[in-house]
Amino acid sequence: MLNDFDLELLDILSDDCRVSPAQLAVMTGKSEAEVTSAIARLEKDRVLIKYPAMINWDRVREDKVQALIEVRVTPQRDEGFDMIAEKIYNFEEVKSVYLMSGAYDLLVIVEGTNIKQLALFVAEKLSTLEHVLSTATHFVLKKYKQDGVIMEDVPGDDRLVVS
């Protein structure tokens, strides 16, 4: 069970994972040792799993394509969706897999160097899996906002203030 201190640490780190233990101690009113101990416990319990950087790949290179794939599957007796989800998330191209409610069962997010590579992944690997009934692939054309961050420069208002 997480306490208020744990939740406060997670909230701060989810916003900026570069905050040092010393800074976290000041921000939370705890000692640096308490912060370090709490983080170690959260990592051990796999609550705190990874410290990612968010990168706007459109500004770095153009050879990265992302697609969202709706997958309908037949759930397995005593396994549900877990077995097929595991088969899917073990593919190198797959970045995320989510169990969904609604018209399809799994949402699979994949990345590759071009559309053809991802199309071949769907045709040769994903759709050929036993228990996969159908797929619908949606290619990401442009990201406007990701994880609460606007990905483009927003032009400022250059008009003079009238008083």
150-to-97, 141, 163 alpha-carbon distances in Å: 24, 15, 31
CATH of the domain at 38: 1.10.10
pLDDT confidence bin for 159, thresholds 50/70/90: low
Decide if 51 is inside a domain: no
- Give the domain range for residue 34: 4-44
pLDDT digits (tens, 9 = 90+) for 121-152: 999 999 999 999 999 999 999 889 988 888 88
Q: Is the pLDDT of residue 160 over 80?
A: no
Please, what's the b/e burial string for 59-92 (b: 16 or more CB within 10 A of its CB; e: otherwise)? eeeeeebbbebbbebeeeeeeebeebbebbeeee
What is the identity of the amino acid at 139?
A: F
Weakest-pLDDT range from 8-17, 83-92, 114-123? 8-17
The reported pTM is: 0.77
Helix 4-15 with 32-44: angle, nearest 10 deg: 80
CA distance 3 to 39: 13
Q: Is pLDDT above 70 for 163?
A: no
| 22, 66: one domain | no
Could you tell me if 87 and 20 lie in one domain? no
Provide the residue type at 13 as one letter. Answer: L
* pLDDT exceeds 80 at position 154: no
- Token readout for 137 is 């692939």
118 membership: H or E segment, kind and range:
helix 115-120
Could you tell me which residue, 149 or 30, shows the higher pLDDT?
30
Q: Between vectors from CA 45 to CA 42 and to CA 49, what angle results, nearest 5°?
A: 65
Are the CB atoms for 126 and 91 separated by under 8 Å?
A: yes
142 and 82, same domain (yes or no): yes
pLDDT digits (tens, 9 = 90+) for 32-90: 999 999 999 999 999 998 888 777 777 776 678 999 999 999 988 888 899 999 999 99
Domain assignment of residue 134, yes or no: yes
Q: Are residues 94 and 128 in the same domain?
A: yes
